[in-house]
A = this chain, B = another copy of it.
């Protein structure tokens, strides 16, 4: 087994609301979309927005049991000065700011916003991690 995540799929309430946020707001471009799902190519992985009832059916869960997710996605930036503008852009697109950008205990600088379904996204600058030219990020 390689150490890879091929797809991250968020279960969303309204696909059109999510589309407005990610496509119109953040500027991501779908590589495929229909009435149920939107796929974005994100480097060598796929980021998917899928109607939550159908995601629930897919892994045989009861969507009524879905709560706030104990999960965070992070988008790392190359420069500390890029953290705040990106959080502001997300807020302008309708995100709720969960935590304004600030100095982090681990030496970087970061803040969090929530997408329309409440999923937490961290925007982070981490001077200890290495950025590859293609945007990949490496702990060492």
A residues apposed to B, CB below 8 Å = 1-12, 26-29, 31-32, 39-47, 52, 55-56, 58-61, 63, 65-76, 86, 89, 98-99, 112, 114, 117, 119-120, 122, 124, 129, 132, 134-140
Contact = CB atoms under 8 A, between A and B. Distances in A.
A5 B3 contact: no
Nearest to A78: B2
Number of copies: 2
Contact of A47 (B5, B10, B61, B132): B5
Given A59-B112, A61-B120, A135 B71 contact: no
20 contacts: A1-B26, A1-B28, A3-B43, A3-B47, A4-B43, A4-B135, A5-B8, A5-B45, A5-B74, A5-B75, A7-B137, A9-B72, A31-B139, A41-B139, A44-B134, A46-B129, A55-B70, A66-B69, A67-B68, A71-B119
